[in-house]
Structure 1
Amino acid sequence: MTPADISVVIPAINEAQSIAYAIRSALQAGASEVIVCDGGSDDETVSVATAAGATKIIRSIPGRGIQLNAGAVFASREMVLFLHADNQLDASCLNQICEIPDVVWGAFQQRIDHPRRAYRILEKGNAARVRYRGMAFGDQAIFVRRAVYKQAGGFEEIELMEDVAFSRTMRAIARPVLLSGPITISARRWEERGIVRQTLRNWNLQCRYRLGASPRQLAKRYC
C-alpha cells in the first residue's frame, strides 16, 4: 500500500478559514483522493475547498456522523482516513500508515497548535487514551480499511459522540494503532473556554454518554 491508496474524507460546515490547510496537508502527504462532504455551509467553504484541490466535493445534510458516512460512500481507495476540517496531517502521516503491515485501524498523536506546556500534557493524555483504552477521537484523524469500515457499519449517525461509538465498535474487531503523526489541531476550543474548563467539559460529556445520556441531549450542551 502507498499513500495513493488512502482516501481522505473531510466533513465541513462553514470552515472556509481552515479547510484549505487541511486539504493541502492531505495532498502533500500523498493522498490522491480528497473528499469534502459539506453539510450546508453558507460561507465560502465549497469554493475554497475546490481551489485548494479537493478531488470530490459532495453535499449532505448536516451532522458529523452523517457527513463522514456520506463522504466514505465516494471513497474508492483501500484505506479511508477521516480528517477534521481544522486539522492538518504531517507530510509523513500517510506513509506511516503504509509502513504498518496488515493495519486495520488507528489514529495519530496530536500537536495542539499552541506553545503552552499544558497542551503538551493534553497531547500525552489523548495519546494514552488510544494506547491503553483503544479509544480514538475524531481530531486524531481516525483511519480504517474501507472493507472493515463497511463491515462495522460505518459511523452512527448521531449528533455527537460518533467517534466514541465508532471506536467502541472497532476495538472489538482490532486494537487501534497509534502512530506518531503528528496531527496539528487548533487550540481554539481550549483558548475560548480555558484549558481546564474545556477539558472538564469534555470529560463530563463522555461520562454522561457512557451513563446513557442521548447524543441529542449532549449536543445541546456542547453547542
Structure 2
Amino acid sequence: MSLSIAVVIPTLNEERVLSRTLLALRQLRFDEVVLVDGGSRDQTVAIAQGQLPGLSLQPAKMLEAEQGRAPQMNAGARTTRSDVLLFLHADTLLPPETRTEIERVLENPKYVGGRFDVRFEDDRGWAWLISRLINWRSRWSGIATGDQALFVRRSAFDDLGGFADVPLMEDIELTRRLKRMGSFAALRATVTTSFRRWQQQGTLRTILQMWLLRFLYWMGVPPRILQHWYGTIR
C-alpha cells in the first residue's frame, strides 16, 4: 500500500537541535515537509531555509504562524495534500522504518492514526524510566503525546477540524477524539528525542509537574487555566 505522507514540524527557538533533525529527515524521502515557525528569535528560520532544498519529494516549505503548537501544526497541515499527516517535534528523530510502519498500520481501514514508542538520547537512569512509563501509559490508555510522533489520516484530521485551539494538551485532546473515530495504533518502532525539557527545571520536579497537569486535565480543568498555572510555577 502506497500512501503519501506529509511531515509537519512546529518550531520555536530550535537552533540547537533542528539541523540534525532535518538532516535525518532528508534520508527518509517523505512526500512533503512543512516547517511552521512561531516567532523564533534565534537562527531557527535561517537553519530551516538553508536545508529546505531536497528535503522532501515535493518542495519543502517554511511558514510563519501564531505561536503555539496547535495553531502552528494546523497552519502547516492546511498547506499539504498528502494522505497522511505526521507531526514531528523539532528535537525528535524518526526511525528508518517510519514510512513502512505507517503504511503497514493504515493498510487496515480500522486505524485512523497512531504513534511511535519514544526513547531519550541518553537512555539511562531517569531518562530510561520516564520513556518506559510514557510508552506503557500510552499503550494502556490509547492516548499519546507529541513526543511520540503522531500520525493521522488526513480524512480523519479534517473531519475533526484539526487540533483544538488550546494552549496545552493539544496532542492528548486530538488522540482522545481520534479514538472515537477508530483504532489508534501504538507502534513498537521507536523515535529518539531530547531529554532537555526534563532537565531544564530539574527532572523530578518536571515529572511531578507533568503528572499533575495531566491529572488536572483529566479532571476537567480547562487547558487555558492549566497554561496560566504552568507558566506561574516554571
- Structure 2 unpaired stretches of 5+: none
**Partner of 1:155: helix, strand, or coil?**
coil
Aligned to 2:8: 9
1:176 aligns with 2:175: no
Are the aligned partners of 2:142 and 2:186 in contact in 1 as well (CA < 8 Å)?
no
User: Deviation of residue 2 (structure 1)?
Assistant: 4.0
Alignment-derived partner of residue 149 in structure 2 = 141
- Comparing 22-31 with 163-172, greater Cα deviation is found at 22-31
Distance 1:220 1:82 in 2: 25
Q: 1 CA distance for matches of 2:9 and 2:32?
A: 11
2:69 alignment counterpart: 64
CA contact (8 A) 2:143 2:176 kept: yes
Q: Which moved more, 1:55-64 or 1:20-29?
A: 20-29
Match of 2:47 in 1: 48
Farther off after superposition, 198-207 or 91-100: 91-100
How big is the shift at 1:140?
Answer: 0.4
Question: Letter of the aligned partner of 1:84 in structure 2?
Answer: H
Letter in 2 for 1:47: A
In structure 2, do the counterparts of structure 1 residues 193 and 25 end up closer, same or farther at CA, with 3 Å as the change threshold?
same
Tell me what 2:85 maps to: 80
Q: CA deviation at 1:173?
A: 1.1
1:130 deviates by 2.4
Mapped contact 2:8–2:34 kept (Cα < 8 A): yes
Take 1:211 and 1:220, find their aligned partners in 2: how far apart are those partners? 17
Q: Quote the Cα distance in structure 2 between the aligned partners of 1:199 and 1:77.
A: 36
What code does the residue aligned with 2:85 have?
V
- Name the Cα RMSD after superposition: 1.6
Question: Aligned to 1:198, which of 188, 196, 206?
Answer: 206
Superposition TM-score, scaled by structure 1 size:
0.93
SS in 1 for 2:187: strand
Is the CA contact 1:63–1:157 (under 8 Å) kept in the aligned structure 2? Answer: no
Post-superposition Cα deviations, 1:151-198, rounded to whole Å, max 9, x if no partner, equal: 111101111111111111011112211112311111112222333221
Paired residue type of 2:46:
S
Identity percentage of aligned residues: 35
Distance 2:10 2:227 in 1: 17
Q: State the distance in 2 between where 1:49 and 1:176 align.
A: 31
TM-aligned CA deviation for residue 222 of structure 1: 2.9
The 10-residue stretch of structure 1 (75-84 or 175-184) with the greater mean CA deviation from structure 2: 175-184
Paired residues in the alignment total: 222
**Is residue 112–residue 178 contact of structure 2 (8 Å, CA) maintained in 1?**
no
